[in-house]
Amino acid sequence: MENILKSPFVEEMKKTTANMYRLGWDERNGGNISYMLDEEEVSKYLDINRPIRTIDIGFDAKELIGKIFIVTGTGKYFKNVQDDPENNLGIIKIANDGKTAELLWGYNDGGKFTSELPAHLMSHIARLKVDPQNRVVMHSHPTNTLAMNFVHKLSEKEFTHTLWEMCTECIVVFPDGVGVLPWMLCGTNSIGEATAKKMEEFRLVVWGMHGIYGAGKTMDETFGLIETVEKAAQIYMLTAHLPRVNTITDEQMVELAEYFGVDYRKDFLNL
Ligand code: 2HA
Ligand code: ZN
């Protein structure tokens, strides 16, 4: 067996959590990531048929039976993942009953996966139906995105439109827009179900007054989606209280979307 601490997926989790922490998006135990792994790849490092222990998932994830994920731990700090991946991360396989997870590696201090696992797994199920290549679900508390939640209307159309206006590339990076949920109690199956419903339509979902979820094929794609929203929200927060002298017009956004050949939410523009 090869050394799992040197595996590309553990390395990616370490780098991504460290980046997110340094950007100020994931204070204390804020944020969580789940990343679906290839069985053959994981088998180079672990015996995938020898679970350390089983952990209750709290809902029926039968669509994901046999799937393997690396997931950040509950109560764990992104700040600490890089130096101690084995305590702060875990690799789980969804068991044959769909309701329990077999721990294959990690959570060494007796811990378990993020309390947001229902939202993650339900989002994976929803995204995989739309895009069979989807692998990553990421949750974070990016500062400006969150600040914008308190001063901007939370309709999907208005929120997306403002973000698109703030950076030329926004409509190209997330032409599908941003879904928005009202404030809801986190860590529950209900917020998981609501998030997954939005994920049928969006790769980005704002949790009102809490943070954001992103989904994508790779860690880079998913991180890049959230990073682009956060950049646009930062421009908004830097300018919202000042007179607006110039703007990117809806006609210019159409020009961008057509030039780059992206299928965008036409109903989110005011044409
Ligand atoms: O895991 O961010 O939403 C900590 C959180 C909960
Ligand atoms: Zn959160």
Ordered by start, the domain boundaries in the chain are: 1-114, 116-271
- 180 and 154 Cβ atoms separated by less than 8 Å: yes
Give the chain's largest Cα–Cα span.
63
User: What is the distance in A from the centroid of ligand 2 to the CA of 201?
Assistant: 21
Pocket of ligand 1 (CB under 6 A): 29-32, 114-116, 139, 186
Q: Which residues contact 155 (CB under 8 A, 6 or more apart)?
A: 180
- 178 and 205 Cβ atoms separated by less than 8 Å: yes
Which pLDDT does position 174 carry in this prediction? Answer: 99
Which pLDDT does position 81 carry in this prediction? Answer: 98
CA-closest candidate to residue 34, choices 128, 116, 102: 116
Residues of the chain with pLDDT under 70: none
Rounded to whole angstroms, the Cα distance separating 45 from 111 reads 21
Token pair 């000042």 in the structure block, residue: 242
Rounded to whole angstroms, the Cα distance separating 258 from 129 reads 26
Q: What pTM did the predictor assign? A: 0.98
Catalytic residue among 11, 39, 86, 116: 116
List the CATH code of the domain at 1-114.
3.40.225.10
Residues in the chain: 271
- Residue pLDDT, tens place only, 94-147: 999 999 999 999 999 999 999 999 999 999 999 999 999 999 999 999 999 999
Which pLDDT does position 91 carry in this prediction? Answer: 99
Q: Which fold has domain 116-271?
A: L-fuculose-1-phosphate Aldolase (3.40.225)
Give yes or no on whether 1-114 and 116-271 have one common fold. Answer: yes
